[in-house]
Structure 1
C-alpha cells in the first residue's frame, strides 16, 4: 500500500496546502481535492483584496478569476509576473510563481495565456533504518489559454482551457505513483455599467465563473482518482469616483467547490467500513453528477452547505491611477479548512510599469500563513485609445489597478 499523493502532500507541508491551522489534522468535514493551489490567487492585487476578483477591473491576471472580463481589458498588451514564498513559517524552499498576459485581437476581444508553477521544496526519502534512499522535488503547474469577447458595451463572456500536471511523490523503491495529468475548462461572464446616483458617479460590475471543469486526477490507482477543485465564483464590485483624482472600489466574492462533500458521522471513525463505503461511492461520481450534487450532499444539511461557501471582500483606493492602497479579508469556516486572514497591499503604476505587494495577517498567532508576501510586476503597453482609432473601451475599461 502506498499513500495517496493528496494525503502525502498534507503530511509534507505539516498543514493542508491552503489551510491555516498550525496544529493540523485532516478534519472529516473538510473537502479535499487534487491540486488545491488552483484556487489560490496567483497575483498580489487579488490576494490583497481577500482573494476577490470576479468583478474587479480587468488586468493581466483577469482570466484566473473570470475570463469574461477579457473583452474589457484597458491595454492592447499586458504582462504580469508574480512570486510568493510559500509557508515560510514551515519551510524555506516552497514558492508559488506565475506569469500571465493578454493581447487584444480587435476592439472587443482578447486572448490571454498564463503559467502557474508551485514548487513544494525537497523530500528526503529514508528507509526503516533512517538511511537516505534518495530525494525528490515535488511540483505542480498549470498552463492556461483564454479568450474573452465583449458582446455589448456592458456584457462579455469568456472561456479558458487548462492543462494541469501534478508530480508529488516521484519514483522510489516499489512506489508505483505517477504524475497526475488533467485537462480543464473555465466559463465566465462579466457585466459592467456606469451609474449616476445623486451627485455621485459609480460603476457597478457583476461577475461569475465556473473554473477547473475537468477530468479527475489519477496518480497510480484509477480507483483513487481525485476531483479537480471545480469552483463556482460569484462576485460584485462597486467603484465610486470621488473626483478626477480619487476613487475607491468595494468588492465581494463568494466561492463554492462543486465537488462531493465528504460523508461522515460525528463520533464514528473515518475508517469505519460503512463511512469508507459511502465516501468511495461519492468519489466514483461523474464530474457533472458531483457538481450538481454538491449543493445538497453535505451530511449537516443546508447549514453545512452554507459553511462550504468561502467569502472574500476588499477595498481598493486609487489616486490618479498611480498609487493604490488595498485591504481585504478571507473567511473559511473553521471545520472546512479554517483559512481566515486579513490582507494588506500597496500598488504603484508609472507609464508602462507597475508593481503590487501584499502581506497576509492570519487570525491565529501560530499560523503557517503568517508573514506570507506576494509580489507582482506589471508591464502595460498601449492604452486602447492609443491602439485603435475609435475608443474600444466601452463601458468599463479604465483601469482601477
Structure 2
C-alpha cells in the first residue's frame, strides 16, 4: 500500500511529508521509503499558531480558524507529496495534525488536541485519510505518546544489546526497544522547544532558531542556571510520561532566567543545549542503553550532538539515516506506518511504551473517493519491521492482498 505520512511537531517549524510503500511479509512489515519533502506553513500561519499555543490564551474562533487553515496546509502538503513522491498513486494519507494542547494532571494525560481538519485533505486529494491517532491511546489509559515507539520497537527488534531510539524534536523522547528495561518509551524533556524559544526571546524575534548551534558553540554553560533547570520535577517522575509546550514555554524560560541578570544569549543557549544533552543521557543510562539512534530536527545541530556524545561517555550515537530512515522525516514515516496498520485493522501502540491498558487500533477514518482501501481479512500483527531499499511497486494495488505484501 502506498501511504503518505504527514507530521507537524512541537517546534511548529514546517510540515514533513513522507511517502512509503508498505506491505507485510509473514511476521514482518516491510517499509520502502519513497522520499520526503518539507513544506513551509503558508503566509502568517506559523505566527498565528505560535500566538495561540500555551501559555497564551486563545478563543474558539481562533481554534476554528487554525483547524481549517492547518487542514488546508496539510492538504496542500499531501497533494504535493502524492504528485512528487507517488506519481499520483497514493492510496492512503495519514495526518498527525498539529498538537495544540496536551492536558495532563498528576502525571496522567486527560486529553489531547490535534488540529488540522482532515476533510480538507480528502477533498483536495480524493484519498482516504487516517487522522486523530493519539486520543484512542489516551482513552485506553495511555499517554498518547510517544506513538513513534510502535515503529521503534518493530524496527530495532533483533538488534544486539539495548538500542535506544531518540527523537530530538521540540521535545526529546526515547524508545528502549528491548533489553532489561524495554520496551519503554517516554519524553525526556525539552529539545528544540526551549532553544527556539530562547532565540526568539533573546533576539527580539529577529531569529527563530540557533542555526547549526553557532550561538551555543560561542557560549559557556552557566552552572547555576543549569542546576536550576535540572531541578524541574518532571525529570524525576517515573515513565511512562509525556510533556510539551504546556510546561516548557516562554513563561517557563523567563522564570528560570529570573535573578541571573543579563546573561549573554550565547551562554543561555549553551546551557539549554547542555540541559537537553544531560537529560537525554541520564535517560539512556538509566535504561542501560548500549547505542543511540537519533532522528528529528535536533540532529541538524552539531553542537547538541557533540554535547550528547560527551554526556553519554562512550555510548555510540548514530543517526537513523544509517539504518535507512531519514532522520528529518522519521516521524512522518512512523505515522505512515500507524495509518497502514489502522487500514488493516491492526493495533498501532505498544502498551508498555504509552502506559495504555491494551494495544488499540488508532485514529479516525475520513473515506476518500470510492471509500477506504479494501481491508483484507486475518492479517497477522507484525512483530518486526524491515526498511527496504529496493524498488517499490510501479502502480497502486488492485487486489487487496497486494497492499499487504504480495507486491514484494
Is TM-score (shorter-chain normalized) higher than 0.5?
A: no
Q: TM-score, normalised by structure 2?
A: 0.26
Give the helix-richer structure, 1 or 2: 2
Higher relative contact order (CA 8 A, sep 6+): 2
Judging by fraction of residues, say which structure has more strand: 1
Look at both structures and tell me which one has the larger radius of gyration over its CA atoms: 1
